[in-house]
């Protein structure tokens, strides 16, 4: 891990690191906020997965999470959304390729040599940060849009690893959405049977979740038809899954929406992690 930058924030530290990744086969960058308590001992960690076109930097600078993490005594990690660099496959469209890893392990060329974001988020990066930073082995996970999809699917598939899960405007039913079918077919192939493990609505119906779930969705989100929050809400109702899908009047898909409800989510995770 090479330290790229360090800034003091709410008496804690906002750090950015880069490192060579064996999983993605390229250099990866990620950000970590450590609250003041991390100077005296280990703290729980909340993973924040970002959406399409984002890097580690978007939520770090626009989400306003640092104040809430400092107040609640938890760390927040902001990974990148995809592998990057020369030699990494890309596409002219904003919703495929670099910036759009979709948190899957690609099995098709030209994506499979580098696009292994599922393994990177669930295995390599956690191992790296746990070895080098003052983090307790208690984890929550959240994310926005594509990152909300990642947070939900990763938590549902790994309940032994995560103690809490929430999402901001997640892509909840990608197997039935243009934000999903395009990417899943490109990365995983045309056999839709391989897609279901990356669909939170289908996973929740099959597996359920051990605790409650918090989802916030802007009611004026310009991408509602692609996100399909009603599908996840229906699956929660069918399974009688504890949790909430909150439709927030007047809010869109932007970081103004995320930053408005960031405090709710950080406090919600902290209550379950501390």
Task: Indicate which residues carry an active-site annotation.
Answer: 145, 221, 253
Burial of residue 178 (number of CB atoms within 10 Å: 0-12, 13-18, 19+): exposed
Measured between alpha carbons, how far is 164 from 157 in angstroms, rounded to an integer?
Answer: 13
Measured between alpha carbons, how far is 44 from 137 in angstroms, rounded to an integer?
Answer: 7
* CA distance from start to end of the chain: 27
Q: Which helix (H) or strand (E) holds 145?
A: none
Q: Which of 75, 136, 80 is nearest to 103 (CA)?
A: 80
**Cβ distance 179 to 223 under 8 Å?**
yes
Measured between alpha carbons, how far is 140 from 148 in angstroms, rounded to an integer?
Answer: 13
Q: How many CA atoms lie within 13 A of 31 on its CB side?
A: 24
Measured between alpha carbons, how far is 10 from 13 in angstroms, rounded to an integer?
Answer: 8
**Cβ distance 214 to 263 under 8 Å?**
no
Distance of CA 106 to the CA centre of its chain: 17
Number of CB atoms found within 10 A of residue 160's CB? 6
């Amino acid at each position: 891990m090479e330290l790229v930058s360090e800034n003091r924030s709410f008496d804690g530290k906002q750090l950015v690191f880069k490192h060579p990744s064996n999983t993605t086969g390229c250099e990866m960058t990620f950000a970590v906020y450590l609250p003041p308590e991390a100077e005296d001992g280990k703290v729980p960690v909340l993973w924040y997965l970002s959406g399409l076109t984002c890097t580690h930097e978007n939520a770090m600078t626009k989400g306003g999470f640092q104040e809430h993490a400092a107040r609640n005594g938890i760390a927040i990690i902001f990974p990148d959304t995809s592998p990057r660099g020369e030699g990494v496959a890309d596409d002219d469209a904003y919703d495929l390729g670099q910036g759009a890893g979709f948190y899957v392990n690609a099995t098709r060329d030209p994506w499979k040599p580098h696009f292994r974001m599922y393994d990177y988020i669930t295995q390599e990066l956690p191992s790296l940060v746990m070895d080098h930073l003052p983090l307790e082995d208690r984890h929550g996970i959240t994310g926005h849009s594509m990152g909300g999809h990642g947070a939900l699917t990763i938590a549902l598939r790994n309940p032994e690893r995560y103690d809490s899960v929430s999402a901001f405007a997640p892509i909840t039913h990608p197997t039935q959405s243009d934000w999903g079918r395009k990417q899943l077919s490109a990365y995983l192939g045309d056999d839709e049977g391989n897609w279901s493990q990356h669909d939170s609505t289908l996973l929740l119906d099959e597996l359920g979740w051990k605790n409650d779930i918090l989802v916030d969705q802007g009611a004026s989100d310009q991408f509602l038809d692609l996100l399909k929050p009603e599908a996840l809400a229906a699956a929660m109702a069918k399974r009688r899954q504890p949790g909430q899908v909150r439709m927030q009047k007047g809010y869109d898909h932007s970081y103004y929406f995320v930053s408005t409800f960031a405090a709710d989510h950080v406090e919600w995770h902290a209550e379950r992690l501390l």
